[in-house]
Amino acid sequence: MNLSGKKILVTGSDGFIGSHLVEELVRRGHDVRAFVLYNSFNSWGWLDRSEVRDDLDVFCGDVRDPGGVRTAMRGCDVVLHLAALIAIPYSYHSPDTYVDTNVKGTLNIVQAARDLGVERVVHTSTSEVYGTAQFVPITEEHPLQGQSPYSASKIGADQIALSFYRSFETPVAVIRPFNTYGPRQSARAVIPTVMTQIRAGARQIKLGSLHPTRDFNYVADTVRAFISVAECDAAVGEVVNAGSAFEVSIGDTARLIGEVMGRDIEIVTDAQRIRPEKSEVERLFACNDKLRRLTDWAPLYGGLDGFRRGLAETAAWFGEPGNLTMYKAGIYNL
């Protein structure tokens, strides 16, 4: 599919990945409708600070509302569905909201897409649906394991999306990003957690478990993967991993951040940041062969050198005082 001339709706546009995706689509000359979460402050999230905000058609609503979703999607040819609740600790005490937003919200998207004849839906999954790796690198055939209410809700959302393809031939593709990082990421994630503490002057950095490994992906690579999947006809009906194929532990990541930022740090364990034992995902390490085979995508920030470059760019962003004020470095962010 050629996206030129298509009206593209991006749900979750006000968030971390969504705002970067919106910006890249606009830079490429595409017509974008940005779906942001309605609030009484009339805040568009990260888009309020974006250079492309004046070039957007913004819709304020809630993916949990089927009528609003249908209104937002009317006249759109392509839907990139990123809106979701994603924090794992918050899902432990508020799981019902994850079912409503992630599962029922996705149902609202694919139901409206079917009824309105939308040409392409890209649904956002997550590497958390795999749970702790049973084999590596993790391919799309890896078993699914709901090790948190969040990951269980995303498994349900994925299956709802794929069921509409199988049942009604709704043109759905599922992209499964591994651990995206970069400017604007919430401090509920480990990299912003470390960087905001360092920028706030802390020498002792509070973290949870240090031994789990992750496959980190710089946000620019994740954004390019979304666009590549949206353009790829062969991805319809498929699940596609978007990962760097580079594995690193949380502890080594924190130490590397300290090196990149030129700070000597001491890592201390904060018990409230440790997941329940059976809920902790011990290892994530992506196989990205399918995405590379179906599209022309390849990570530009791959390997240790690419990871260092991505961390440096992220640290530079957090180094801007106006950006750091958006975070509460001394408070644990669920």
Q: Which residues lie below 8 Å from residue 228, measured CB to CB, with a gap of 6+? A: 291, 295, 296, 297
pLDDT value for 330:
77
pLDDT value for 227:
98
What residue segments make up the domains of the chain, in order of their start? 7-180+216-242, 183-214+247-281+303-324
N residues, the chain: 334
Asked if residue 223 lies in contact with residue 24, where contact means CB atoms within 8 angstroms, the answer is: yes
Taking only the tens place, the pLDDT of each residue in 273-297 is 888 889 999 999 999 999 999 999 9
Taking only the tens place, the pLDDT of each residue in 8-63 is 999 999 999 999 999 999 999 999 999 999 999 999 999 999 999 999 999 999 99
Can you tell me the mean pLDDT for 267-275? 86
CATH superfamily ID and name for 183-214+247-281+303-324: UDP-galactose 4-epimerase, domain 1 (3.90.25.10)
Give the CATH fold of the 7-180+216-242 domain.
Rossmann fold (3.40.50)
Taking only the tens place, the pLDDT of each residue in 115-167 is 999 999 999 999 999 999 999 999 999 999 999 999 999 999 999 999 999 99
**What tokens does 251 get?**
């502890």
* Cα distance between residue 174 and residue 135, in whole Å: 21
Paired sense of beta strands 31-37 and 7-11, if any:
parallel
Does 6 score more than 90 pLDDT?
yes
Taking only the tens place, the pLDDT of each residue in 189-204 is 999 999 999 998 988 8
